[in-house]
Structure 1
Amino acid sequence: MSFLMYSTEYNVLGYEQWALGIGYWALAIYFWNLSIPVLGRDSKATYMQYAVRKNNG
């Protein structure tokens, strides 16, 4: 019985870590996509436009 409880507990923890990993990957990809224009050919101009737009908006 204790082994059953232990395995269930371990599975729940595994699923929690799996969901956390998916969330971290989603955040990383989201911020990486945000940074693509900043790393582009005219990176400074793009970043300044973004900063000005953010301050004005």
Structure 2
Amino acid sequence: MTTQPILPGSTVVVIDKCSIYRGYTGFVQRISGDRAAVLFEGGNWDKLVTLRLSDLVVA
């Protein structure tokens, strides 16, 4: 089984069990080192959060 790379523009899901964003789906805005800035949107709010790449999977 091959895993898809996480690139800017990818839709990702948070899999970190300790994160309050677990299960949220967002869009990768940028990547720096081992972290990605992920944009979450919902109704009338937007939130940009930096997460480790190891805590994300491509949706």
TM-score range relative to shorter protein: under 0.3
Larger Rg: 1
Tell me: higher relative CO, structure 1 or 2? Use CA pairs within 8 A at least 6 residues apart.
2
* TM-score of the two chains, using structure 1 as the length reference: 0.22
Structure 1 or 2: more helix by fraction: 1
Structure 1 or 2: more strand by fraction: 2
* TM-score of the two chains, using structure 2 as the length reference: 0.22
